[in-house]
A and B are shown apart, each in its own frame.
Chain A
């Protein structure tokens, strides 16, 4: 059953080629000497040098990272609380509305979310800038965090918490000492998800940013609209490599942890 037929081998090869070739081409042509992105004229790293001197891009990158760190941290706190309330909170007034508001932003088109937040900020007279982007990003990414965290909360044994309570923990202690360590992997991946969602967002940031704060996606979008440029290729390559290194490191770490856990379990069984 597990032997690969030629059909499966071909479809996997073609499929992954389709997924990765565009990005590979992008990376290769970031080292192109020529200004024309489609004609190869020899190896060069000059576009990386130009990128590092482009202050507009550097400023935008800094704003983007600040926004992503703040909003993903806030989203993780709020999203974890929301997940806890949904899974463990029992009945409370307006529960249906609450769970609706958690799931609705996941399917909402970004243009609508962006438009409505902008109208709110203008309505209450809030100046648009880094602060409003953080508010907007926190709002939509907390929903993703709470979905990730609640799936972990649902699957773990509630009696562990109850045991801690029986043994004299307060509810807060039981959460901190028992629940949080168990759901920690989900909380961390929720934070990472919120972080990448914030880094990646163009549409909502465009609506909620003011002239004082431009994020990298907004900058890239306006540059790309004018056409393809080797500087953007260099920037994309940097971003792709950071993500690839990060994801590979993370997966190696988890793999390592899983094997260690298995070894410990086996040792415990033997003992």
Chain B
């Protein structure tokens, strides 16, 4: 049947149909499995919770028309988010953890990227490979590896006690410090790669010029190298900051009961408390929170592109 239909089309009609099919397939897929689910989240965030299956009352019906829809909108879940300080604290603490750990990732990643860019040229592909390799091993396993190191009887404490730095084991696992260590560790390649590519492109003669003109090595680094690698630093910071904001695995394995991150709160709201409307509202606010850094990032990229042209 479909074949006969295809036969009856002219050449140009066929190419139009195949072009539309080509565009349509991924388009419809993403509409159905990416955009529509979001609309559903938005809808449920505006519904009432209920002890039922599914556990919420649909608060409005598209059939009733737009006016009825707007009249029925219920912002109760969002108001609830502002009233219970758990959510406020979770958003703020996610932001704080993301900012601090991005800073530490930069602090740890910059010297590595710098060393890579200054390494002999024939080493660089191997060094790159060594940075990328951890990307391919499971994220979960890399976080798990730290549980054995940071626990009270863990290697870090054994090492510190053996060298006599401390006499009592430190409690690191299940605290925010463990979360910072885990984030810096797992997100380090995201920082190293963009900073490295910025530093590799940097013209060495500029630093030599600065040194010839009387700069010390350190001032040359501060006044020339850092500003010229600014774009790499910004890109790396966003690549770390944005995913950390919604992080779930690291706080739930390395963090303690006092580690508040919004990804974990959403997970618990959904799976433990089964409050779907509130979980959806948490998701909507998290998205709004993410839009700001993403817009900033895009604007920076655009500026960079314009500058290059």
Look across to chain B and name the residue whose beta carbon is closest to the beta carbon of A203: B248
Chain A nearest Cβ from B59, distance in angstroms: 14
User: What does the 1/0 interface line of A128-152 toward B look like (CB < 8 Å)?
Assistant: 0000000110110010001000000
Q: A112-B246, A112-B286 known; A200 and B34 CB under 8 Å?
A: no
Contact A98 B158 (CB under 8 A): no
Contact B121 A2 (CB under 8 A): yes
Chain A nearest Cβ from B169, distance in angstroms: 11
Cα distance A45–B241 in the bound complex, in angstroms: 40
**With an 8 A cutoff between CB atoms, is A268 at the interface?**
no
Contact B145 A122 (CB under 8 A): no
Which stretch, A47-55, A100-108, A178-186, touches the partner chain B?
Answer: A100-108
Chain B nearest Cβ from A188, distance in angstroms: 15
**With an 8 A cutoff between CB atoms, is B180 at the interface?**
no
- The binding surface of chain A is classed by DSSP as helix
- The binding surface of chain B is classed by DSSP as helix
B290 to chain A: which residues have CB within 8 Å? Answer: 107, 109
Q: A15-B115, A23-B145, A111-B283 known; A38 and B29 CB under 8 Å?
A: no
Contact B155 A85 (CB under 8 A): no
**With an 8 A cutoff between CB atoms, is A44 at the interface?**
no
Cα distance A108–B204 in the bound complex, in angstroms: 38
B118 to chain A: which residues have CB within 8 Å? Answer: 1-2, 4-5, 8
Q: State which size class the interface on A falls in.
A: 35 or more
Contact A135 B33 (CB under 8 A): yes
Chain B nearest Cβ from A253, distance in angstroms: 13
Contact A171 B15 (CB under 8 A): yes
Cα distance A9–B118 in the bound complex, in angstroms: 10
A228 to chain B: which residues have CB within 8 Å? Answer: 144, 147-148, 151
Q: Apart from A2-B120, A11-B111, A81-B26, what 10 extra A-B contacts exist at CB < 8 Å? A: A15-B109, A18-B108, A19-B130, A23-B141, A82-B26, A85-B23, A110-B246, A112-B286, A120-B37, A224-B140
13 A-B contact pairs sorted by A residue (CB < 8 Å): A4-B115, A8-B114, A8-B115, A15-B111, A15-B188, A25-B148, A79-B26, A109-B243, A109-B247, A112-B283, A119-B44, A200-B139, A246-B136
